[in-house]
Structure 1
């Protein structure tokens, strides 16, 4: 009898241990499967965001393969990025849908892999990108299909797509090739919000439009129209762009070296100039916030784009504003991340990798060089520290290991650094 009781005790104990183990497994599965929604992501510094295009060639006709996209997603994940932004869902450019497939495969291979998407739907005016005169008061008939495809992808991949952005810089007046009036964006935002109410889109999916700070009321009065007010009410959050880099040419007052700084070391002049660039972005952010507040509306405001190019043969290079090099790119990236993380702003930094299709006829055009990585996978100065930490060990891009630009020689990098002009003229190079 004593022997049988001992056996019974062991059996019961074993069953209890098995039950506890099973419960822990179920808890782990539940934790892994916890639904992350846009509200959890945006403004959360644990979910770093970046704008992403995986194009390697000079034409988007050459689409990156799913294995290439998976390589890129692993690289971005290693550096702490968990949210990427795409720009269109055009039928002949399956880039966004392939990204979603790539992320799905990675999640199947690793339950702990996390990557979410802000899915862009491109919006144009009538006659955009044709030899006809753009009609900015009438929208392109292609817009409806773009929205339908975005909806389909959001429903197909609800665990990945957390935001739909209606248009990219689609309202700002300097986008002369394609901009539309705010009522067009409002129409499609309302359409998507209605689908959420009808249960045809997830109620947790956030809807926005990603546009220049001016388009969100942060600049001239010409943007302050009733349709914009209604749009602010309709979106789930404001996604604004701010580019002090471009304004080193178009609005350079903040960029020029003040007379009082002329006797300072060149590196100090540069560092102070980048600090002023950050303040320039903060001022634009505040101008949008003030406009939204003036309407009596409360909406989160996040940065849908900002960035700094590392090469330029145009307005921002040696013969222009002298804003362009990897050293300044590194300073800007570091300070922009520090500011936005500190105050709870998501920043879709532009961009992950260089893309040469953007200025295919000019290899040194600045638009080709906003990436934190070169096309062949070299890490630029802003993320040299991540290479030192070994976060990219075992990862490759198109067969290339992740190494530093300039072979990691900061002295060589500094030789290419340009000093901003003084208010009277151009500062002598090093």
Structure 2
């Protein structure tokens, strides 16, 4: 060949070689956090630094009381929190906002005390509050630029575009806020949202494409525990087909697979629109140590540890199908969250829960000793034959000929994980029958309180009492105003719990609150019309079912139902005796 013939071939080889090099470089950059890659129509990606991807990450909020709005946060408490996290090697934290009260304080303490902690800073975006959002952006940009060595990334907005968002913001508006922040800083920028939004899951109204084109990495949330309540068929948490002694392990294995499935769904969507180099971070995931929102048979210190260990195993595995980072939710319990509390690795007293006790000295452990066998799992509720006796006794000392009794002894327990009422034996010598009475002490929250007599793992068929039956009990109290009494059918495990409580005013059905004993008798047919779907239950399952009574007696005071103002907070004791159904 002549020299002229060789030159075109040489140029072709050079072009092919250059293309291969570019492809390899893109792969390397993607593996390191996506920096430098320009997705089709998107921004030039800013890479997540090794300081970000190589640290153990956790979400952090400093709140310790039941009212974050009035709580005074101190530097001493924040510094103590951060030192605890460093001691456990949690050296990457997620902050949710750019407020002076929290974010600026936390970052300044990290800087001033020279703590080895890096931050994903939040910029809190609120629906319909453009002026407040712009002010928040100013604060966030200032913090990101002032503390570039600490703030490694910034997240604009939190769970605003998923279909069930409590603080909804359209992708168009959010895209503008993201761009405003990104144009003023050099760090990678994202937004935190549920996996279903980022995966454009079935039923999601918002298209994530404009958002993923505007960010440097995805920060997705996945909550298998919450999904077991809100999307009961999304994954098989019950594992009922598995032997009971293996069911807890099977459930937690299924839980981590559910989280992996959510991750894969997001990855598939991104790859499908050409965003193959956009990194994914799991911005929130976790497991409660205590059931605070109907997570019975699931939330327990051992189950929390099992989920945490499975997350760690996923991250340390050789698979490439995993996130760049997992931010565990969360560092500390936060009482202000109410029914959404108990996710913390530490309790609110800053005692290490079972999940991380191997990282800390026993002096700062939460009380309680656990073993693998203590893990909770689904146990089907036993359904017993129809009660045909004319009397069904829930609580009484004196035996009555021909009566039927509860299948199991009732467990008297207050609503919620931090009980809103307590029960014990009342003063002897004052019982209207026998010698024992039940003393109930309200420990109300802002909405009120409740106490149940629960048939744990069992239910009784009281359908024969529907037409002519009555709920009877003796009561002595000076508790102010009205109360609620009734029963519950179904179970939280089956998402079928149905509340059947009637407001009982002084002077009705024999009730009075004058400090003397009174005998109350309420027709079941008068209570039933007050029934309603249980909190967070499935409307297709939560229906009145007298063949499956699981709480044959409930006493409560939900202020919205009894006409009291929030935070009424009366703790006057109520004494109960001789509780039974009759017909």
Task: Tell me the TM-score normalised to structure 2 length.
Answer: 0.54
Structure 1 unmatched runs, 5+: 1-36, 108-112, 127-138, 196-200, 360-364, 393-400
Q: 1:313 to 1:79 in 2, by over 3 A?
A: closer
Q: 1:120 aligns with which of 119, 122, 126?
A: 122
Q: Is the 8 A contact 1:239 1:302 kept in 2?
A: yes
The correspondence of residues 112-191 of structure 1 with structure 2, limited to 5 A, is 113-126=115-128, 140-176=130-166, 178-191=167-180
Distance in 1 of aligned mates of 2:219 and 2:381: 33
Matched, 1:255 2:236: yes
Number of the residue aligned with 1:327: 302
Number of the residue aligned with 2:196: 214
Shift of 1:194: 2.1
Distance in 1 of aligned mates of 2:456 and 2:143: 51
Number of the residue aligned with 1:100: 107
Q: 1:99 to 1:155 in 2, by over 3 A?
A: same
**Secondary structure of residue in 2 paired with 1:210:** strand
Distance in 2 of aligned mates of 1:124 and 1:62: 21
Number of the residue aligned with 1:371: 344
Q: Which has the higher helix share?
A: 1
**Secondary structure of residue in 1 paired with 2:216:** coil
Number of the residue aligned with 2:311: 336
Q: Deviations over 1:195-239 (max 9, x none)?
A: 2xxxxx2x3x110001100121341254463xx212211101000
Q: 1:232 to 1:69 in 2, by over 3 A?
A: same
Distance in 1 of aligned mates of 2:156 and 2:379: 38
Structure 2 unmatched runs, 5+: 1-46, 384-454, 459-583
Q: Is the 8 A contact 1:372 1:379 kept in 2?
A: yes
Q: How many residues align?
A: 334
Q: 2:211 aligns with which of 231, 239, 249?
A: 231
Number of the residue aligned with 1:316: 295
Number of the residue aligned with 1:25: none
Task: Tell me the TM-score normalised to structure 1 length.
Answer: 0.72
Q: Is the 8 A contact 2:197 2:204 kept in 1?
A: no
The correspondence of residues 281-292 of structure 1 with structure 2, limited to 5 A, is 281-292=259-270
Number of the residue aligned with 2:571: none
Number of the residue aligned with 2:516: none
Number of the residue aligned with 2:96: 87
Q: Which has the higher strand share?
A: 2
Deviating beyond 6 angstroms after TM superposition, the runs of 4 or more aligned structure 1 residues are 423-427
Q: 1:57 to 1:341 in 2, by over 3 A?
A: same
Number of the residue aligned with 1:13: none
Q: Is the 8 A contact 1:171 1:211 kept in 2?
A: yes
Distance in 1 of aligned mates of 2:107 and 2:237: 43
Q: Is the 8 A contact 2:381 2:457 kept in 1?
A: no
**Secondary structure of residue in 2 paired with 1:50:** strand
Q: Is the 8 A contact 1:49 1:346 kept in 2?
A: yes
Matched, 1:405 2:367: yes
Q: Cα RMSD over matched residues?
A: 2.4
Number of the residue aligned with 2:53: 43
Shift of 1:308: 0.8
Distance in 1 of aligned mates of 2:272 and 2:206: 11
Shift of 1:427: 9.9
Matched, 1:192 2:202: no
Distance in 2 of aligned mates of 1:218 and 1:330: 31
Number of the residue aligned with 2:14: none
Q: Is the 8 A contact 1:258 1:423 kept in 2?
A: no
Q: Is the 8 A contact 1:55 1:64 kept in 2?
A: yes
Shift of 1:62: 1.3
Number of the residue aligned with 1:55: 63
Distance in 2 of aligned mates of 1:164 and 1:299: 16
Shift of 1:299: 0.1
Distance in 2 of aligned mates of 1:377 and 1:414: 26
Q: 2:377 aligns with which of 419, 422, 429?
A: 419
Q: Deviations over 1:102-146 (max 9, x none)?
A: 111220xxxxx41011111111212xxxxxxxxxxxx54321111
Q: Is the 8 A contact 2:237 2:254 kept in 1?
A: no
Q: Is the 8 A contact 1:256 1:422 kept in 2?
A: no
Higher relative contact order (CA 8 A, sep 6+): 1
Q: Is the 8 A contact 1:323 1:420 kept in 2?
A: yes
Distance in 1 of aligned mates of 2:222 and 2:261: 10
Number of the residue aligned with 2:420: none
Distance in 2 of aligned mates of 1:283 and 1:243: 11
Q: 1:174 to 1:284 in 2, by over 3 A?
A: same
Shift of 1:95: 0.8
